[in-house]
Structure 1
């Protein structure tokens, strides 16, 4: 197998749902008994098991969980540094929007010649920060209303909250 073949993305779906169900049951039952289960890969020589690293176990667990739900799974190797397009795709934004975040100093990056490279961990941290900011904005725009609440005052409060959130967003 060539290097290109080993690094290519591949999509898989389950054909043997009964066997997949047994794997899923084994993984979930052991997790219920031991919060830090240890798993081993056993090859043709049964006396030489290899313990799976936690990261490999977590990938396996997610793959089995998705396949158990009838979903296809795509495995795509990603380097520790991303191009601006890869980072934008991961964040679910356009590349120009990502460039604005980079130029605004909201996301650290390095340059490789004329190309920008962003650490995967920084992109994931930024995604979580954005998610928390979105939850805070939703919370800021919510108001408790009951039947005794003055609707005109509530509308005025919401308008002020929207203005405050917009001003905060422009101030970034």
Structure 2
């Protein structure tokens, strides 16, 4: 068992046991409902050798088993609670200069230590979620209903107007 804290990828090899494990995890998650909370534990060779799993470890286990059941490899990449600007950029899927611009505009909170920035993981994840919401709202705002009988020029004009409205809202927010 590896104890070093490093990113590691696990490739599904013994997939024959995954369906029953996934069924067990899902069945217990469904049965949890409004009743008393279900608890999970790891059990060793003897009954006294038992430790309860925290909910976040159980949730991670469900995600790992689900992905492996689907034939996907799983990478476990431990993250510190504070990130460098490069780590934040990697997490957000943007460049480091973009993260610096977000920090300078006040969109992404960061602490400056010497010449370096440190960002809280929670802040980066919160920004990521807010960005996703904004993207979905922009997509929804720029859609138009069309019918097969609609004139293509009229559809193009409605789409152009929707894009203008989104751009105007974006300019008003900045």
Query: Mind listing any 5+ residue stretches in structure 1 that lack a counterpart?
Result: none
Match of 1:8 in 2: 6
Match of 1:81 in 2: 82
Cα deviation for residue 8 of structure 1 reads 1.4
Q: Secondary structure at 1:82's aligned position in 2?
A: strand
5 Å matches for 1:79-158?
79-146=80-147, 149=150, 151-158=152-159
Identify the range of structure 1 (10-19 vs 49-58) with the bigger mean alpha-carbon deviation.
Answer: 10-19
Q: Distance in 1 between matches of 2:150 and 2:66?
A: 46
Q: How well do the aligned residues superpose, as a CA RMSD in angstroms? A: 2.1
Match of 2:15 in 1: 17
| Alpha carbons 1:110, 1:117 under 8 Å: kept | yes
Cα deviation for residue 94 of structure 1 reads 1.4
- Rate the CA distance shift 1:149–1:22 in 2: closer, same or farther, 3 A: closer
Cα deviation for residue 17 of structure 1 reads 1.4
Cα deviation for residue 147 of structure 1 reads 5.2
Measured against aligned partners, the alpha-carbon deviations of 1:108-165 in whole angstroms (never above 9, x if no partner) come to 1111211101111111111111111111111111111235655544433322321232
Q: Secondary structure at 1:8's aligned position in 2?
A: coil
Cα deviation for residue 54 of structure 1 reads 0.5
Match of 2:31 in 1: 33
| Alpha carbons 1:14, 1:20 under 8 Å: kept | no
Provide TM-score, normalisation by structure 2: 0.87
Provide TM-score, normalisation by structure 1: 0.88
